């Protein structure tokens, strides 16, 4: 179990670093949006590339931070009954949810999206909009984001098993707000 817990710590550290890096993308997309609005409404100039990069960055933020969000228990959860149950029941629910739903979904999404990325990369796919950007980087975000989420799911599963075996606490980190 010690090796598994060490693996969980490594996965946690990877998603933590990526999550902190993604915070900078929020600043970038905000500045790009403001500059694009200023250029469009202040000077009557615009570019499809600036609009697309906003969407690409938004996709990167959403997909790359999914594992970080899971690590910090920040995903939306219907908590009507879950919060009232004892920690062992919650651990079993989390364990079964990860094993039966989260991990199979992540594997399926990585598998299904990988071919689209490869095809886009090989063809040098471009946006159909005038002045649009290349598409393969944003297509790579899908398998990468789901792989990171799946890895964090493995980490959370390991931590729940450790808790149920009496070898660790139940992680209940509230979402952290960075300033």
Residue with tokens 């600043």: 27
Say whether pLDDT at 179 is over 70: no
Domain containing 149 equals: 2-164
% of the chain at pLDDT higher than 90: 65
Looking at the 3D structure of the chain, how many domains does it have? 1
- Whether 133 contacts 127, CB under 8 Å: yes
Ramachandran category for residue 154: left, alpha or beta (phi over 0 → left; psi -120 to 50 → alpha)? alpha
- Is residue 88 one of the residues assigned to a domain? yes
- Is residue 179 one of the residues assigned to a domain? no
Per the prediction, the chain carries an average pLDDT of 90
- The CA–CA distances, whole Å, from 60 to 29, 55, 79, 121 equal 10, 9, 28, 17
In this prediction, residue 172 carries a pLDDT of 66
pLDDT tens by residue, 89-135: 989 999 999 999 999 999 999 999 999 999 999 999 888 887 778 89
Query: For residue 139, how many other CB atoms are within 10 A of its CB?
Result: 21
- Is residue 169 one of the residues assigned to a domain? no
pLDDT tens by residue, 38-79: 988 998 888 888 889 999 999 999 999 999 999 998 877 767
- Is residue 107 one of the residues assigned to a domain? yes
- Is residue 171 one of the residues assigned to a domain? no
Does the pTM exceed 0.75? yes
Say whether pLDDT at 149 is over 60: yes
- Which contiguous run of DSSP H or E holds residue 93? helix 87-97
């Amino acid at each position: 179990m010690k090796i598994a817990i060490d693996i969980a710590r490594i996965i946690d550290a990877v998603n933590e670093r990526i999550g902190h890096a993604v915070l900078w993308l929020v600043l970038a997309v905000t500045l790009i949006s403001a500059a694009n609005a200023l250029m469009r409404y202040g000077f009557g100039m615009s570019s499809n590339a600036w609009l697309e990069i906003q969407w690409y960055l938004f996709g990167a933020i959403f997909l790359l931070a999914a594992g970080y969000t899971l690590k910090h228990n920040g995903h939306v959860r219907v908590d009507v009954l879950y919060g009232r149950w004892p920690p062992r029941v919650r651990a079993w629910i989390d364990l079964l949810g990860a094993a039966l739903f989260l991990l199979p979904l992540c594997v399926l999404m990585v598998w299904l999206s990988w071919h689209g990325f490869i095809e886009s990369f090989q063809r040098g796919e471009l946006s159909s909009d005038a002045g649009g950007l290349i598409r393969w980087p944003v297509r790579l975000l899908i398998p990468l984001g789901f792989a990171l989420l799946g890895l964090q799911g493995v980490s959370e599963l390991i931590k729940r098993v450790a808790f149920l075996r009496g070898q660790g606490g139940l992680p209940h980190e509230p979402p952290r707000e960075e300033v």
